[in-house]
Amino acid sequence: MVALRKPSWDRLFEIASEQEGHFSAQQALEAGYSPQLVRKHVVAGRFTRIQRGIYRLVHFPAGDHEELVVVWLWTERAGVFSHQTALGLHGLSDVLPAKIHVSVPASWKARRLRVRAGVTVHHADVAKSERAWFGAIPATSVVRTLADCARDAISPELLRQASNEALARGLVSKRDLADVRRALRGHGELGA
């Protein structure tokens, strides 16, 4: 997208409102806000700098997934929440992950990322058909989430709980869970 010559509050607000009040420096530039103008609005108290290159409109109402939106913007909107974070978003377990799990494109392995504390980055390509949206943020689909968790060897109890919940809610079928069945060998069978 080409940067606008004149700042457009309407465009910036439209971008931020789709992201729980947040926007990146690149998105601000596309709405006509130079780095100097963004800084001026931070000093004036209209924007809050959340971290390098990510801002929030001060008077925008709080959202449900603000911390995840910030991580998603940090991934340049290329990341997809996955593993235990996606389990939580799908409501498939009692897990309270200590870290936010996000999958970024496999091609990013060559990048030297400065990963903030509390974030675990996985390098994997996630097809559009393997994504679900939770408001402003993408997460892996239920099938992909369970497969990722099985491959990363999360606790068998948690994997069984999440899989049984997905089966009970009709979100997956047993044939969708080949990776889960392999991971649970020797730890009991799936229900439902």
> Same domain for 46 and 105?
no
> Same domain for 86 and 34?
no
Residue 66, classified by CB atoms within 10 Å of its CB into exposed (0-12), middle (13-18) or buried (19+), is: middle
Tens-binned pLDDT, residue by residue, of the chain (192 aa): 555 579 999 999 999 999 999 999 999 999 999 999 999 999 999 999 999 999 999 999 988 899 999 999 999 999 999 999 999 999 998 777 789 999 999 999 888 878 888 999 999 999 999 999 999 899 999 999 999 999 997 889 899 999 999 999 999 999 999 999 998 887 766 765
Whether the CB-CB separation of 135 and 68 falls below 8 Å is answered with no
The CATH number covering residue 39 comes to 1.10.10
d(CA 183, CA 186): 9
| Domain of 120, in residue numbers | 66-184
> Same domain for 28 and 74?
no
Q: The whole model's pTM is what?
A: 0.88
d(CA 115, CA 92): 27
Q: Does 189 reside within a domain?
A: no
Length of the chain: 192
3-state class (DSSP) for residue 20: coil
